[in-house]
Amino acid sequence: MLSVLRNETYRRLFAAQIVALVGTGFLTVALGLLAYDLAGSNAGAVLGVALTIKMLAYVGLAPVINALAVRWPKKRVLIAADLVRAAMALCLPFITDVWQIYLVIFLLQGASATFTPAFQALIPTILTKENEYTLALSLSRLAYDMEALVSPAVAALLLTLVSYNNLFIGTAAGFLFSALMVTVTVLPRLAAPTGPQPSLWHRTTLGTRIFCRDGRLRSLLALNLVVAAPTALVLVNTVVFVRDVLQRPDTDLALALACFGVGSMIVALSAPRVLARFGDRSVMLTGAAVIPLVLAGASALTLPGVPGMGWWPFLGLWFLLGAANSTILTPSSRLLRDASTEETRPYVFTAQFSLSHACYILTYPLAGWVGAVAGLGWAALALAIIAMIGSAGAFLSWPGHEDAANTEPAEKEPGIECTPRQPGRPRS
């Protein structure tokens, strides 16, 4: 897997991604402590609003910013986004009121909504071979999982030596390092759009319209909903499962989250071999079939009148959820690459970034509100139903003959070439 790092351009960009993710992990820990300092027992409500603002920035700003920046050099866009993120992180230690948190988070996440899709759309132009790109996707999935495991542990260690405000400095340093790596990296020169350019509205909605025309991308849209269901249950309710249902100590919260991450990492490590043998459709739809079943199992073990869930079965369920999530997340960018050209790729990746995060606007509140009002069993059941709906949509949108159905030239967009990349071989 590490052979892909022989590519110097990708190696530098991957280093930038790793360090920026560690800084983001520090931000998560420090922001929670800052919210508690400002709001006390209402810190959870503050973080809930901040998380919603993050998702709204991702959903609302990403397509518009991408449409505005389509003619700008990609290196300048990435560097500017990193500098804005670093500046916002440095503002956080000086915040004295809750509304200031909301403003800074909106600006910071708006910059992330600029950086992430542009970064993701750049990788297929650097790694043009199928196997190299798949290895890069596995490494990226591992990077996100390691961030979830390593950053909180490192942050906890640092908090024994310094105050939490210093973690914001670490966050800013991560973004500055990312900007430096982009600065010293020679990026591929992309062809500028030619001919008359369509309107801003046309460019803003182009990625979504490409999603609607392509059966695999419609399936991916449904799979985004499947992934959002277990992610919301794990991130929102794991602490309640561990402390209230299972009566475990605080330290076991980290172990439960680690099981989710380890399941995801194992699948990411094996993804190149599994995808080469079975193809994207079989692997991703297998995850879509497993997730509703595991969520239903978690629900059944926590409903009133059912014997209580044990610690080890709980860890097993979280492991399976992490593994099933990774079967969908790891190969998803392959579908985006195959359904786009160099000209439309930024629009397609931005649409995926925006539409996937829109699903969390539904599942995060559902996990929290239903869990608080009716209990965790009903929250897990509600999310299982959401995942089941998404799974059904994915299966119906992505039939086994999808390659033949999706390699026809797409409708010509004015000023933008939209014929999708022709897959080199069937992937069913």
Domain 1-185 has CATH 1.20.1250.20: yes
pTM, rounded to two decimals: 0.77
pLDDT-above-90 percentage for the chain: 26
Architecture of the domain defined by 200-417: Up-down Bundle (1.20)
* Most confidently modeled range among 25-34, 37-46, 147-156, 359-368: 359-368
Amino acid in position 369: W
Q: Please, which residues bridge with residue 416 across strands?
A: 413
- Decide if pLDDT at 56 tops 70: yes
CATH 1.20.1250.20 residue window(s) in the chain:
1-185, 200-417
Judging by beta carbons within 10 Å of its beta carbon (0-12, 13-18, 19+), is residue 65 exposed, middle or buried? buried
How much is the pLDDT for 353?
82
Per the listing, tokens 């959820």 go with 321
Number of other residues whose CB lies within 10 A of the CB of residue 41: 7
- For residue 380, what pLDDT band results from cuts at 50, 70 and 90? very high
Are the C-beta atoms of 197 and 347 separated by less than 8 Å? Answer: no
- Decide if pLDDT at 164 tops 90: no
How much is the pLDDT for 192?
55
How much is the pLDDT for 401?
59
* Phi, psi angles (nearest 5°) of residue 176: -65, -40
Are the C-beta atoms of 75 and 381 separated by less than 8 Å? Answer: no
- For residue 157, what pLDDT band results from cuts at 50, 70 and 90? confident
- Give tens-digit pLDDT for 226-275: 999 999 888 878 878 887 788 887 667 778 888 888 898 899 889 889 99
How wide is the angle at C-alpha 339 spanned by C-alphas 334 and 344, nearest 5°? 110
Q: Give me 61's structure tokens.
A: 């700003």
Of the two residues 304 and 148, the one the predictor is more confident about is 148
- Give tens-digit pLDDT for 293-349: 999 998 887 765 556 678 888 999 999 999 999 999 989 888 988 888 877 888 888
Q: Give me 188's structure tokens.
A: 């591929």
Instruction: Report which of 193, 318, 205 is spatially closest to residue 263, judged by C-alpha positions.
Output: 318
